[in-house]
């Protein structure tokens, strides 16, 4: 091998170094993205290097050139993959064909064979390329160039003899070494980059871990082997109250004094591998209050695998514990209520074909129905209580199950061959397939009600009989009194008129008193008759116009109005009410007549009549400027025979307002009074509004 060949080898070595540069600078830094453009560019650059190697070759014999293309193409297939290898093979094959000569075909076959060997080695190898050893790369170089030697067997005889006599040994000695060294340099570059990436990823992982720890919603605390705090995140600050700067490098402050030994025992267990998973502990806050936490911990190991601390994740479950305790207390209360209540509760599960099966029944239900819980659970309801179908309760249960709407099963008497009792049932759905029936044994209540109803009917009949007797008595008394009263009044008038001249003046005055008393007695008897007759005639409640009723009452009292020089004012619209026209006329006549009667002599009566609607009722108001009534007599004046003034001052029998109240009561209304002595009175009658 002459000076020219040595120079070509040096140039080829330089080009092989450039192969390493391309791999480290362009390919391995972007290989993760697997960009097609990057692979194409890599292939073009590799093709240029391989072509430069071929151009800078030496001629072994006419038409047979010798270079390091096999090294370049083998390493291209091994390290760069399919697409760059195909591009490199195409470019170098075209160049070799253009170079011509008798060894062109063999040269192209060497190109293809070298790249293929690299690709096969790449895809059959399972480990990462940066982990390839120098020895493995040397073996790879030997395999590549063995295939090249095989290709040289197909050269013309002169060229083949020249190659094997001059170049075969140097090639097999130098080219595998060149392949190993170049590949080792490329692997070292990738290993270096992987190391840098690993360090960077580790740094990012630590930052992410620190961010996660700091942003964690639960306290995360770590201790060193001396039990001093090495980590204290924001959640720990929030839950326990101490700032990070207050606890780092110091003993854990959250352990109550009475629990220090237990804390050390738990820590020692963790160091020995007995980790805590959800252990409940009582800890303290900075303000001294207690907090319940659920502890999850583990040992922290260094790079050598030696323990260097304890990591603890503490979940604040104080509210959860309080809620669970409250829930348990609530469940206990309801269980006690369920067990001790006097009302029966039956729980059913609705299965296929709408079959109701007993899940449970409380003691009261068992006592009422005469069964035990053990004998009914799991059995169909109609099997235990066949009467539920006849009484209609079973249909209600199925309806509630299908609709989800609660229902009350009306009062029914349950009866079968074993028991009979009156029951009231309330049915509602619990969950998707459970029905709850709450029932009460009201047999005794029904018996009591029946007895009370019997007594009420008997008492009512007795009262009706007494009332009839009283009405008959009142009617008879008033009727029987009228005849002798008329005789007394008549004879007194006759004596007074016929013998006026023969009698002393004092005797005449006494006869006038008798006549006047007889007239008053007649009025009183008539009022009594009227009062006793109220309610004896069937009422005819209908829509009545207050305006027409007031007009009729005013027409009836026209002479009284004129006599008293009264002023009547009807204000606004008078509405329609539901009333008996006869009773309403009597109410109006009595109230207006009273307003015309009870006034100061020097002040003529002024009466204002109005009505207003409110919540379905009409309030009829009669306001006067009369003498008024003291508040202590407001209820008393509606009682029969109650008078506040002497007959000499104001005439009357004391029955008028009693008649008014009885009429209003019979029509289902109410009457009220507002009055101030000396200023007048306001009577208000409340009746149901009628639609006109």
pLDDT of 649: 44
The whole-angstrom distance between residue 588's C-alpha and the CA centroid of its chain comes to 60
**Residue ranges making up the domain that contains 499:** 447-533
- CA pair distance 531, 535, nearest whole angstrom: 9
Distance CA 72, CA 114 (A): 9
Q: Is the distance from CB of 381 to CB of 358 less than 8 angstroms?
A: yes
CATH number at residue 515: 1.10.287
pLDDT at 650 over 50: no
How far is residue 623's CA from residue 673's CA, in Å, rounded to a whole number? Answer: 10
For residues 177 and 116, state if they share a domain: yes
Instruction: Please state, in angstroms and rounded to a whole number, the distance separating the CA atoms of residues 414 and 390.
Output: 9
Q: What is the pLDDT of residue 588?
A: 86
CB 489 within 8 A of CB 511: no
Query: Is residue 266's pLDDT more than 60?
Result: yes
Residues 569 and 673 in one domain: yes
Q: Is the pLDDT of residue 8 over 60?
A: no
Using a pLDDT cut of 70, give the percent of the chain over it: 74
- Tell which of 130, 161, 195 closes a domain: 195
Q: Are 286 and 240 in contact (CB under 8 A)?
A: yes
Distances in Å between the alpha carbon of 242 and those of 57, 233, 236, 486? 77, 10, 8, 110
Q: Tell me, yes or no, whether 173 and 298 share the same domain.
A: no
Q: Can you tell me the distance from the alpha carbon of 335 to that of 349, in angstroms, rounded to the nearest whole number?
A: 19
Distance CA 683, CA 664 (A): 12
Residue 333 in domain: no
Residue 204 placed within a domain: no
| Separation CA 473–CA 468 (nearest Å) | 8
Helices (H), 26-167: 36-55, 69-80, 82-99, 104-124, 134-152, 157-162
Question: For a pLDDT cut of 90, what percent of the chain falls above it?
Answer: 2
Coarse DSSP helix, strand, coil percentages of the chain, rounded to the nearest 5 percent: 55, 20, 25
Kindly state whether residues 148 and 188 are assigned to the same domain: yes
The Cα 145–Cα 409 span in angstroms is 100
Q: Is the dihedral of CA 201, 206, 207, 211 positive or negative?
A: positive
Residue 414, pLDDT above cutoff 70? yes
**Strand-pair partners of 59:** 65
Residues 505 and 453 reside in one and the same domain:
yes
Q: Give first-to-last CA distance, the chain, whole Å.
A: 135
User: Are the C-beta atoms of 561 and 609 separated by less than 8 Å?
Assistant: no
Do residues 218 and 291 make contact, with C-beta atoms less than 8 angstroms apart? Answer: no
Non-local CB neighbours of 5 within 8 Å, separated by 6+ positions? 58, 66
Q: How far apart are CA 516 and CA 405, in angstroms?
A: 76
Determine if residue 527 is left, alpha or beta; phi over 0 gives left, psi from -120 to 50 gives alpha, anything else beta: alpha
Q: What span, in angstroms and rounded, lies between the C-alpha atoms of 595 and 598?
A: 6
Strand order in the sheet with 434-441: 356-361, 344-350, 434-441, 420-430, 407-415
Longest CA span, the chain: 200
Residue 626's pLDDT is what?
Answer: 80
In 3D space, the residue among 61, 143, 64 whose CA is nearest the CA of residue 96 turns out to be 64
* 31-57 per-position pLDDT tens digit: 544 577 778 877 787 787 778 777 766
**65 and 155 together in one domain:** yes
Domain count, the chain: 5
Report which of 52, 50, 43, 2 is spatially closest to residue 23, judged by C-alpha positions.
Answer: 43
Secondary structure class of 668 (helix, strand, coil): coil
Determine the Cα–Cα distance for residues 548 and 239; give it in Å rounded to an integer.
81
Beta bridge partner(s), residue 229: 223, 248
pLDDT value, residue 358: 87
Domain assignment present for 45: yes
Q: For the purposes of burial, counting CB atoms within 10 Å of the CB of 218, is it exposed (0-12), middle (13-18) or buried (19 or more)?
A: middle
Say if residues 638 and 658 touch (Cβ distance below 8 Å): yes
Q: In terms of DSSP H, where are the helices of 626-675? A: 656-666
Cα dihedral: 613, 614, 615, 616 (round 10): -20
Spatial distance between the Cα atoms of 98 and 96, rounded to a whole number of angstroms: 5
Is-contact 680 628, C-beta < 8 A?
A: yes
The answer to whether residues 612 and 473 belong to one domain is: no
| pLDDT, tens only, 305-315 | 788 888 888 88
Q: What's the rounded Cα separation, in Å, for the pair 410 and 393?
A: 9
The whole-number pLDDT of residue 159 equals: 73
Average pLDDT over residues 617-640: 75
Find out whether 116 and 88 touch, Cβ atoms under 8 Å. no
**What does the pLDDT look like over 63-91, one tens digit per residue?**
555 667 788 888 888 877 888 889 988 99
Residue 630 confidence (pLDDT) above 50: yes
- Of 413, 441, 469, the residue at which a domain comes to its end is 441
Q: What is the 3-state secondary structure (H, E, C) of 135-184?
A: HHHHHHHHHHHHHHHHHHCCCCHHHHHHHHHHHHHHHHHHHHHHHHHHHH
Position 619 scores a pLDDT of 93
**What's the pLDDT score for residue 191?**
60
Interatomic CA distance for residues 360 and 478, integer angstroms: 72
- Residue 331 covered by a domain: no
What average pLDDT score do residues 102-129 get? 82
- Looking from the CA of 119 toward its CB, the CA atoms found within 13 Å total 15
Residue 202 lies in a domain: no
Which of 581, 477, 589, 474 minimizes the C-alpha distance to 532? Answer: 474
Q: What is the pLDDT of residues 348-390, one digit of tens each?
A: 898 878 888 888 998 888 888 888 888 888 888 888 888 888 8
What is the Cα–Cα distance from 559 to 326, expressed in whole angstroms? 81
**Does pLDDT of 247 surpass 80?**
yes
Residue 73 and residue 140 in one domain: yes
d(CA 474, CA 525): 9
Asked if residue 29 and residue 145 are part of one domain, the reply reads yes
Q: Is residue 207 a part of any domain in this protein?
A: no
Separation between Cα atoms, residue 587 and residue 25, nearest integer Å: 117
Contacts of 173 (CB under 8 A, 6+ apart): none
Q: What is the CATH number of the domain that holds 404?
A: 3.30.450.20
Q: Which residues pair with 670 in a beta bridge?
A: 686
The reply to whether 548 and 528 lie within a common domain is: no
State which of 406, 441, 476 marks the end of a domain: 441
556-586 pLDDT per residue, tens: 888 888 888 888 888 888 889 988 888 888 8
Average per-residue pLDDT for the chain? 77
What mean pLDDT is predicted for residues 234-243?
89
Note whether 551 and 521 are same-domain residues: no
Q: Find the helix or strand (DSSP H, E) in which 585 lies.
A: helix 581-597
Domain CATH number, residue 176? 1.10.1760
Map residue 523 onto helix, strand or coil: helix
176, 43: one domain: yes
For residue 335, is it within any domain?
no
pLDDT tens digits, one per residue of 493-539:
676 666 666 667 676 666 666 666 665 566 556 655 665 556 556 67
List residues bridging with 672 in a β-sheet. 684
Q: What is the mean pLDDT of residues 444-458?
A: 78
Specify the CATH number for the domain of residue 643. 3.30.565.10
Does residue 172 form part of some domain?
Answer: yes
């Amino acid at each position: 091998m002459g000076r020219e060949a040595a120079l070509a080898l040096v140039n080829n070595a330089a080009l092989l170094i450039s192969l390493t540069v391309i791999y480290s600078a362009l390919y391995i830094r972007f290989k993760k993205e697997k960009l097609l453009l990057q692979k194409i560019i890599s292939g073009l650059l590799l093709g240029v290097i391989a072509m430069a190697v071929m151009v800078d070759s030496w001629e072994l014999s006419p038409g047979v050139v010798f270079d390091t293309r096999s090294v370049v193409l083998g390493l291209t297939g091994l390290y760069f993959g399919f697409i760059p290898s195909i591009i490199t093979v195409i470019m170098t094959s075209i160049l070799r064909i253009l170079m011509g000569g008798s060894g062109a075909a063999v040269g192209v076959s060497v190109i293809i064979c070298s790249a293929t060997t690299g690709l096969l080695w790449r895809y059959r190898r399972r480990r990462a390329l940066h982990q390839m050893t120098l020895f493995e790369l040397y073996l790879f170089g030997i395999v590549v160039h063995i295939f090249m030697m095989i290709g040289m067997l197909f050269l013309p005889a002169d060229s083949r003899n020249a190659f094997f006599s001059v170049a075969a040994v140097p090639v097999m000695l130098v080219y595998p070494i060149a392949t190993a060294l170049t590949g080792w340099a490329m692997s070292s570059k990738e290993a270096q980059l992987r190391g840098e990436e690993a360090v960077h990823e580790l740094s990012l992982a630590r930052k992410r871990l620190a961010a996660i720890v700091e942003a964690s919603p639960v306290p995360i605390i770590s201790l060193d082997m001396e039990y001093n705090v090495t980590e204290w995140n924001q959640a720990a600050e929030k839950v326990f109250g101490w700032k990070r700067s207050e606890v780092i490098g110091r003993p854990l402050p959250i352990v109550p004094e009475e629990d220090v030994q237990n804390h050390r025992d738990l820590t020692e267990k963790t160091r020995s591998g007995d980790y805590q998973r959800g252990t409940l502990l009582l800890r303290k806050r900075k303000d001294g209050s207690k907090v319940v936490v659920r502890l999850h911990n583990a040992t922290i190991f260094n790079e050598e695998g030696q323990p260097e601390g304890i990591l603890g994740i503490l979940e604040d479950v104080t509210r959860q514990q309080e809620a669970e305790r409250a829930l348990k207390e609530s469940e206990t209360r309801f269980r006690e209520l369920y067990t001790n209540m006097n009302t029966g509760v039956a729980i059913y599960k609705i299965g296929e074909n709408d079959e109701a099966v007993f899940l449970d029944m409380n003691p009261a239900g068992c006592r009422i129905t005469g069964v035990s819980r053990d004998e009914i659970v799991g059995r169909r309801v109609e099997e235990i209580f066949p009467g539920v179908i006849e009484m209609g309760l079973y249909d209600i249960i199925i309806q509630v199950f299908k609709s989800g709407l609660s229902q009350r099963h009306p009062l029914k008497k349950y009866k079968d061959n074993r028991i009979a009792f009156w029951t009231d049932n309330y049915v509602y759905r619990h969950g998707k397939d459970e029905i709850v029936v709450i029932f009460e044994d009201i047999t005794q209540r029904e018996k009591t009600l029946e007895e009370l109803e019997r007594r009420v009917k008997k008492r009512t009949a007795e009262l009706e009989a007494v009332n009839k007797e009283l009405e008959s008595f009142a009617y008879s008394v008033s009727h029987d009194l009228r005849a002798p009263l008329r005789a007394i009044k008549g004879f007194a008038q006759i004596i007074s008129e016929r013998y006026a001249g023969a009698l002393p003046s004092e005797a005449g005055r006494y006869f006038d008193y008798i006549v006047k008393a007889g007239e008053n007695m007649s009025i009183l008897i008539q009022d009594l008759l009227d009062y006793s007759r109220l309610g004896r005639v069937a009422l005819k409640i209908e829509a009545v116009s207050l305006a027409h009723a007031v007009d009729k009452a005013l027409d009836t009292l026209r002479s009284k109005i004129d006599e008293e020089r009264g002023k009547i004012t009807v204000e606004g619209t008078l509405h329609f009410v539901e009333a008996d026209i006869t009773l309403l006329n009597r109410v109006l006549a009595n109230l207006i007549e009273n307003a015309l009667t009870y006034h100061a002599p020097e002040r003529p009566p002024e009466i204002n009549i109005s009505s207003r609607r409110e919540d379905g009722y009409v309030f009829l108001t009669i306001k006067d400027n009369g003498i008024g009534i003291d508040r202590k007599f407001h209820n008393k004046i509606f009682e029969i025979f109650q008078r506040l003034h002497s007959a000499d001052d104001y005439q009357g029998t004391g029955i008028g307002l009693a008649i008014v109240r009885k009429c209003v009561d019979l029509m289902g209304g109410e009457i009220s009074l507002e009055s101030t002595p000396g200023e007048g009175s306001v009577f208000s009658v409340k009746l149901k509004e009628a639609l006109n």
